[in-house]
Structure 1
């Protein structure tokens, strides 16, 4: 008899929402979490195919002599240009997608798996998932968290990043579940409730 495959659940939230904290709680419950953004950065450093594509599109300066990503160069020449950013995403997304599928194959014994990504709704990734969780918080709280976490940023920079992401108001109708992380409601009971529900479900 064929075993049911795990539910693939996306988890997202705008900058400062605290989705990484929520993911750590799921991890502590023994749930594997695929961090799309970290894996994309890893692949940009280690996938020869992707490195060649990036150099072809953005020049040799996209990488430092030691093989590390030239973040300063990309920040100045790519991250503020929507077309170039779209091009970079079009190169990294297929590589991440393939990496993710390999990861899913290795974790087939789980009831459910989490895919953490900042742009689940913006990039249309949610359409390929069984369910989605949106971690939300009021904007002022998110800004305050980011400024405390990243002293090198100022409020204008944080707002610029937020401007590139869909607002929570736009994401809420697309999400299956919400976790409110506003420093008044406890996050742990919200996670445990979802954990219990996901463990019951079958694909």
Structure 2
């Protein structure tokens, strides 16, 4: 296993996790985007694909072999039991992929960005946790502007399956306020400096 400091960046949908990670990336920190890798693995990892089809049926994939996102979304986002089953398949595959990625990096600090680090308990395997916070109404508006295929009900469904900001505050080492009232870059620079000092 790598001797880098492994830092998680998490936050609810629309909080600005990706924006925060882009700033860290500009500062030279390698970023593992767990949610993006999960989507990639769902369409490219043959073992994971067969597990998903066993659980949700052949309709889970389109004829070209790509994930049938709308079918799965309709099955899982309003059904916590089904969502838990899907996450139970995806999260171990992502964890394995992350370890392979981390072992190939050469940096003092590595970041793992994921929406559900707290919900699935994987934050406990990290050295530090950063939560990105923003008011719910701000987050909803961001998502509706960014993801035109989603409606407000879908966004609220996703939010209902995520830890609230109170829960994030309780387990996080660092908090970033991305609600619009504070400048984002100075907050990231301050945390980056502290993380570098930990590994110096």
Same fold (TM over 0.5): yes
- Which aligned runs of 4 or more in structure 1 are off by greater than 3 angstroms? none
Question: Which structure 2 residues correspond to residues 1-203 of structure 1 after superposition, within 5 A?
Answer: 5-107=3-105, 109-202=106-199
Q: Is the 8 A contact 2:77 2:157 kept in 1?
A: no
Q: Is the 8 A contact 2:138 2:179 kept in 1?
A: yes
- String of CA shifts for 1:25-44, please: whole Å, max 9, x gaps: 01111111101110011111
Residues in 2 aligned to 1:9 and 1:104: alpha-carbon distance in whole angstroms: 11
Choose 1 or 2 for highest CA Rg. Answer: 1
Residues in 2 aligned to 1:153 and 1:52: alpha-carbon distance in whole angstroms: 28
Q: TM-score, normalised by structure 2?
A: 0.95
Residues in 2 aligned to 1:40 and 1:154: alpha-carbon distance in whole angstroms: 23
Q: Secondary structure at the match of 2:107?
A: coil
Q: Secondary structure at the match of 1:8?
A: strand
- CA distance change for structure 1 residues 79 and 174 in 2, over 3 Å: closer, same or farther? same
Shift of 1:142: 1.2
Q: Is the 8 A contact 2:77 2:158 kept in 1?
A: no
Residues in 2 aligned to 1:91 and 1:16: alpha-carbon distance in whole angstroms: 24
RMSD of aligned C-alpha atoms? 1.4
Shift of 1:63: 0.4
- String of CA shifts for 1:126-178, please: whole Å, max 9, x gaps: 11000000000111211121122123333332222211111101110110000
Q: TM-score, normalised by structure 1?
A: 0.93
Residues in 1 aligned to 2:187 and 2:157: alpha-carbon distance in whole angstroms: 30
Q: How many residues align?
A: 199
